[in-house]
Amino acid sequence: MFTWWRRFHTPFKLKPQHLSKVRSELLQRIEFGEFECDPLWQQSYLEDKIFEVKVAEIEIEYARSNRDTIDDRLRHEQKKSHKRKSTMREKHLEAENRMLMQLADALAAEFDFTREYVQEVMESFDGTTRHLYFHIMALKHDRQIPDAEDVQMIPRIVDAQPRHIMKPSEGKWFPLWKKTVTEKKIW
């Protein structure tokens, strides 16, 4: 699939050969980060910074041209930036919705609940996806609901995949990305 609008690698799924046969496949996938918030919305903030840089470049490059030429170039860059940003945000919302439905289905299947019940729990739940897994597990087995600290004490099976890995071809924007991460408090 051609993704001209991506400056970062897409998050990927845990391969079946890397799954432990001893523990829950769903828990391993959750810990790996397959059901975490899609990072595209956060990555779209970089487009505003890139647009600012390109505006400055156009102002310098066409300084001796008439204002109409500069305005045309700026409009062209603005359209490109807006198209990329709107596409990223649209894809983010689609992926986020699809991921939430898949998570609800997987949790319902794993713990033998209805999808509606799991969605109801998800709506009122305030915690990580991993914490949600153990919360629903406790509901299934009529145990005490674990708090965030209890969940932290449970050893992880799989390390989480890294997020926001910039493609090598986009490396020139990395300093701008670091600045964006700091300003927007992305992590």
Over the chain, what HEC string results?
CCCCCCCECCCCCCCHHHCCCCCCHHHHHHHHCCCCCCCHHHHHHHHHHHHHHHHHHHHHHCCCCCHHHHHHHHHHHHHHHHHHHHHHHHHHHHHHHHHHHHHHHHHHHHHCCCHHHHHHHHHHCCCCHHHHHHHHHHHHCCCCCCCHHHHHHCCCCCCCCCCCCECHHHHHHHHHHHHHHHHHCCC
Query: Does 90 fall in a domain?
Result: yes
Task: Evaluate whether residue 89 is within a structural domain.
Answer: yes
Residue 174 lies in a domain: no
* pTM recorded for the entire structure: 0.87
* Residue 41 placed within a domain: yes
Question: So what's the pLDDT on residue 4?
Answer: 84
Residue 10 lies in a domain: no
Q: How many domains does the chain have?
A: 1
Q: 75 in a domain, yes or no? A: yes
Q: Is a pLDDT exceeding 80 seen at residue 1? A: no
The answer to whether residue 155 is domain-embedded is no
Look at residue 29 in the predicted model and tell me its pLDDT. Answer: 96
Mean pLDDT value of segment 158-177: 94
Residue 64 has pLDDT above 70, yes or no: yes
pLDDT in tens, 11-39: 889 999 999 988 899 999 999 999 998 89
Looking at the domain assignment, is residue 121 inside a domain? no
Domain containing 59 equals 37-100
Model confidence over 144-156: pLDDT tens digits?
Answer: 999 999 999 999 9
